[in-house]
Amino acid sequence: MGSVVNYAAVSGNAPLAETLVFATAKVCPENDVWLDSRGALWHPGSRWLAVADLHYGYELTMRRAGGLFPQWGMGDIRARLQALIRHYQPEKLILAGDVMDSSGSAEETLTLLAALQPQVPTLICLEGNHERPALLKRWTFQRWHREDGGYLFHHGHNPQEVLDCPEATAGATVQITGHWHPAVTLNDGAGTSMKLPALIQQRPRSRRTLSVHHHHWILPAFSPWARGGRLPAPAENVRQETWACHQRRVFAVG
């Protein structure tokens, strides 16, 4: 069982988000970055809000393949995004790749993006490995995006392409990606278990190292269907911290 080694959460109700309950925790105290249990990373100073791996339309993909999937996932994604926007009122909303699930959900994804665009001053979409021409030809996607404070966003499916680009990495100290769908499983040893989406923070054991090649944060998947990808093992000189997202708590797990 994973042991809770730290706990820092503020629970509350978003007044404009119906009855959605959420929790937050400061996951980077030196730079004031917060993780919201609804699956988002928030920077109040720069006012950017980042999410990854919506896989919008996943249930449509599964139903077309013959799976008996309920169709509540897209509604859940819309509700959480709208609640986050209303609560934080970000200047920028960063969708860090795999916004769509497959070409079969292109129209639904375009409808979602068109609805989000007027709700935020700037909507930034990054290309992931699930984006298809049916979407890319009709909406602007970027390979990577930089934010003040040394943050470099990209999806993470082809990291070397971004890390080998001097324009992307100049002055960057932390790369923030998605792609891996990190999660943690907690169990009581008696057969009951719970899988929770998680934020992974990998950093060198020496705090003197400030390089985008050494500092890597992996966002939780925003899709309710995408939890529990297999993560690459960190290097020996890298310290990894895991933050689990429960509806009412955000907590570090060791």
- Summarize pLDDT for 156-167 with one digit per residue, the tens: 999 999 999 999
Q: What is the residue range of 248's domain?
A: 4-253
Q: How far is CA 83 from CA 53, 74, 112, 119, in A?
A: 18, 14, 14, 11
The reported pLDDT for the residue numbered 122 is 98
Positive or negative torsion for Cα 82, 180, 169, 215: positive
CA dihedral in degrees (14, 95, 177, 250; nearest 10)? 10
Confidence of residue 13 (pLDDT cuts 50, 70, 90): very low
Percent of the chain exceeding pLDDT 90 equals 72
Q: What is the mean pLDDT of residues 115-141?
A: 98
User: Which ranges in 117-205 belong to alpha helices (H)?
Assistant: 133-136, 159-163, 166-169
What are the two backbone dihedrals, phi and then psi, of residue 188, each rounded to the nearest 5 degrees?
A: -100, 5
Q: What is the mean pLDDT of residues 83-94?
A: 97
pLDDT per residue as tens digits for the range 146-185: 999 999 999 999 999 999 999 999 999 999 999 999 999 9
Confidence of residue 209 (pLDDT cuts 50, 70, 90): low
Confidence of residue 7 (pLDDT cuts 50, 70, 90): very low
The reported pLDDT for the residue numbered 10 is 38
C-alpha to C-alpha distance for 42 and 245, rounded to whole angstroms: 14
The reported pLDDT for the residue numbered 81 is 97
Count of domains observed in the chain: 1
Query: In angstroms, how far is CA 140 from the centroid of its own chain?
Result: 20
C-alpha to C-alpha distance for 64 and 67, rounded to whole angstroms: 7
Specify whether the CB–CB gap between 52 and 179 falls below 8 A.
Answer: yes
Residue 63 pLDDT > 50: yes
The reported pLDDT for the residue numbered 11 is 36
The reported pLDDT for the residue numbered 86 is 95
The reported pLDDT for the residue numbered 8 is 36
Q: What is the mean pLDDT of residues 44-53?
A: 98
Give Cβ neighbours of residue 125 (< 8 Å, ≥ 6 apart): 95, 99, 113, 139, 140, 141, 142
Residue 15 pLDDT > 80: no
Positive or negative torsion for Cα 65, 69, 75, 80: negative
151: nearest Cα among 234, 222, 49, 83: 49
Residues pairing with 40 in the sheet: 36
Confidence of residue 19 (pLDDT cuts 50, 70, 90): very low
Confidence of residue 12 (pLDDT cuts 50, 70, 90): very low
Global confidence as pTM: 0.90
Helix H, strand E, coil C: the string for 72-84 is CHHHHHHHHHHHH
Specify whether the CB–CB gap between 183 and 196 falls below 8 A.
Answer: yes
Q: Which of 21-35, 78-92, 124-138 has the least mean pLDDT?
A: 21-35
The reported pLDDT for the residue numbered 20 is 63
The reported pLDDT for the residue numbered 67 is 83
